[in-house]
Structure 1
């Protein structure tokens, strides 16, 4: 008897600027890379904060992951669980696997905070009187991380030579710069992101992610 399909949670509606970068994309892409079918349970701004969902995700966010009574939250942890329990996202050699895993953490702790801060300035706090003064500082932090990452990547196709969970997470983080011109100033990274996004698994994940969104916003409470 086959194991039940994993179930992940995702939003049924988000603003246009967030479509394609909500964190269920990371899990969808990982599952597509390892050839694992999955199911999606859609939540909205109310149900995601309800007690039923908070039993799975204490902070009222997405995604979550459930399979046969086992549950997880946090996209990085879910990604590593998928990579460690299925083939296709980590090398068999333990040292090489550890080298790939370090990039998952680097993406989320060294690169993503700077990109998130810029997102706050450009989108969520753009109407604040200090936003214009803060933007150059935020952009400089992003550029510093991009310069370091570009130098480390060099002429390799992927961070550790072959595509791994580390590249998947890094590209998902770099996609947070969509709508800015920053990545274009680092041709090595721009080509790296394009290379990863050309993967069939990414295209399938993105299509499924976008197809799940409602076309009209929810009514105000």
Structure 2
């Protein structure tokens, strides 16, 4: 059955790969599944047709046969469960990979998204200058333990998994802030993720949509 995902017709990040459809593309590339992409505009995302797929009017969504799901983590988990390559066969290792999936989205990503809000949406507020360092320190309080846990190994639990896929995708959002550079092993970890052929194919696919003349 054909897999169809939705993506921004024109991503707000201009093709830097930070939109969440890139995470789903990467997962599909890692497991060797082809897919089709249906592009939606910001206006179309709020129309009934798209809201039937994603009640919060966001991307990505995933359709395959009579299955339609949303939420990036759920989609990546669905892909990882049904195709080899993203979850280890050993039960304990599999549980740990899923643990890291949750950690990336529930523990690491929220303060990083808060930084985006503080830096862009709230930057003209009278209290923005005082708030920003607090947000940055909260991020550091997450990155420190993550850096210690990763140490000098390549991946979070021995072999690359869906946990690494999501963690790298989340950490990529920090590159422009300079915070990632404070933790050299995490910066190198992100570079390893980006160097994977599956990631490169996923990035190029979304970049071609956003920067067709490049």
TM over 0.5: yes
Q: 1:60 aligns with which of 54, 57, 67?
A: 57
Task: Identify the residue that residue 148 of structure 1 maps to in structure 2.
Answer: 145
Residues 15, 207 of structure 2: 8 Å contact kept: no
Which of 84-93 and 17-26 deviates more? 17-26
Unmatched tracts of structure 2, length 5 or more: none
5 Å-filtered alignment, 1:47-196, equals 47-196=44-193
Q: 2:19 aligns with which of 22, 25, 32?
A: 22
TM-score normalised to structure 2 length: 0.96
Give, in angstroms, the shift of residue 215 of structure 1: 6.7
Name the count of aligned residue pairs. 213
**Poorly superposed stretches of 4+, deviation over 4 Å:** none
Give, in angstroms, the shift of residue 15 of structure 1: 3.0
**Rounded Cα–Cα distance in structure 2 between residues aligned with 1:133 and 1:215:** 40
**Rounded Cα–Cα distance in structure 2 between residues aligned with 1:60 and 1:128:** 27
Give, in angstroms, the shift of residue 113 of structure 1: 0.6
For the pair 1:11 / 2:1, whether they are aligned, the reply is no
**Rounded Cα–Cα distance in structure 1 between residues aligned with 2:137 and 2:103:** 18
Deviation digits for residues 56-103 of structure 1 (CA, Å, limit 9, x no counterpart): 100000000000111110000000000000011011112111110110
Give, in angstroms, the shift of residue 46 of structure 1: 1.0
**What secondary structure sits across from 1:178 in the alignment?**
helix
Structure 1 residues 156 and 118 mapped into 2: Cα distance closer, same or farther (>3 Å)? Answer: same
**Rounded Cα–Cα distance in structure 2 between residues aligned with 1:99 and 1:21:** 25
Q: 1:34 aligns with which of 31, 34, 46?
A: 31
**What secondary structure sits across from 2:69 in the alignment?**
strand
Which of 127-136 and 15-24 deviates more? 15-24
Unmatched tracts of structure 1, length 5 or more: 217-221
**Rounded Cα–Cα distance in structure 1 between residues aligned with 2:11 and 2:121:** 14
Give, in angstroms, the shift of residue 213 of structure 1: 2.1
For the pair 1:201 / 2:198, whether they are aligned, the reply is yes
Q: Tell me the C-alpha RMSD between the 2 structures.
A: 1.4
Residues 157, 192 of structure 1: 8 Å contact kept: yes
**Rounded Cα–Cα distance in structure 2 between residues aligned with 1:130 and 1:70:** 46
Residues 15, 210 of structure 2: 8 Å contact kept: no
Deviation digits for residues 100-151 of structure 1 (CA, Å, limit 9, x no counterpart): 0110100000000110111111122222221111011000000110101000
TM-score normalised to structure 1 length: 0.93
